[in-house]
Chains A and B, each alone.
Chain A
Amino acid sequence: NAGVTQTPKFQVLKTGQSMTLQCAQDMNHNSMYWYRQDPGMGLRLIYYSASEGTTDKGEVPNGYNVSRLNKREFSLRLESAAPSQTSVYFCASSGQFGGYTFGSGTRLTVV
């Protein structure tokens, strides 16, 4: 099925560890996004990529880096995880006619 695929689905990290969240879409969309979702805070944009080769900061970029590897893939890296980064992370993409398609999410716990 066409859509957005995120890996892993669950992850537990110790404070200070690093990890990369992977995201791939097969809908030929130009734009891709990383959000985090926290109780009572809603969805907040971390980084986005309007097209291959470009990335821009969103509302909460501190502590994260991203790479738009090609048109299909957009990864999110935590260099030194902190408990405040415990959250559910969603990748999304959008195409020519607008509207988002979301991945199923990565539930990250930092202890």
Chain B
Amino acid sequence: KQEVTQIPAALSVPEGENLVLNCSFTDSAIYNLQWFRQDPGKGLTSLLLIQSSQREQTSGRLNASLDKSSGRSTLYIAASQPGDSATYLCAVDTGNQFYFGTGTSLTVIP
């Protein structure tokens, strides 16, 4: 069974700092990997989707990388803002279903 781990579970940074969130998975046979954002009491909003053949995807201040062979993905957030405060989840698609990590709770301090 695929296992997805996100470390750290919580992160607090001052506004303006660049930061990296980590995601690791145990089985490299994946179709794609997706990063989500979840605000308290809300649903999941898709941030970036990386297909298995891709190495990275970028959207605005966000950049996600994928290294299948090592079972790792990172989400880089540039120039963090208080509005970036949320829980960030990664999910890997094995073809049958997605497996989710338990998320990193990010707080950006003004």
> Chain A residues in contact with chain B, CB under 8 A?
33, 40-43, 45, 48, 58, 90, 92, 94, 98-105, 107
Number of A-B contacts (CB under 8 A): 49
Contacts of A45 in B (CB 8 A): 97-98
Whether B100 and A99, one on each chain, are in contact in the complex, defined by CB atoms closer than 8 angstroms, is: no
| B contact patch SS | strand
B31 to chain A: closest residue by CB:
A98
Is B44 interfacial (CB 8 A cutoff)?
yes
| A contact patch SS | strand
Whether B97 and A99, one on each chain, are in contact in the complex, defined by CB atoms closer than 8 angstroms, is: no
> Size range of the interface on B?
20 to 34
Whether B97 and A98, one on each chain, are in contact in the complex, defined by CB atoms closer than 8 angstroms, is: no
Is B81 interfacial (CB 8 A cutoff)?
no
Is B77 interfacial (CB 8 A cutoff)?
no
Contacts of B100 in A (CB 8 A): 42-43
Contacts of B102 in A (CB 8 A): 40-42
Is B51 interfacial (CB 8 A cutoff)?
yes
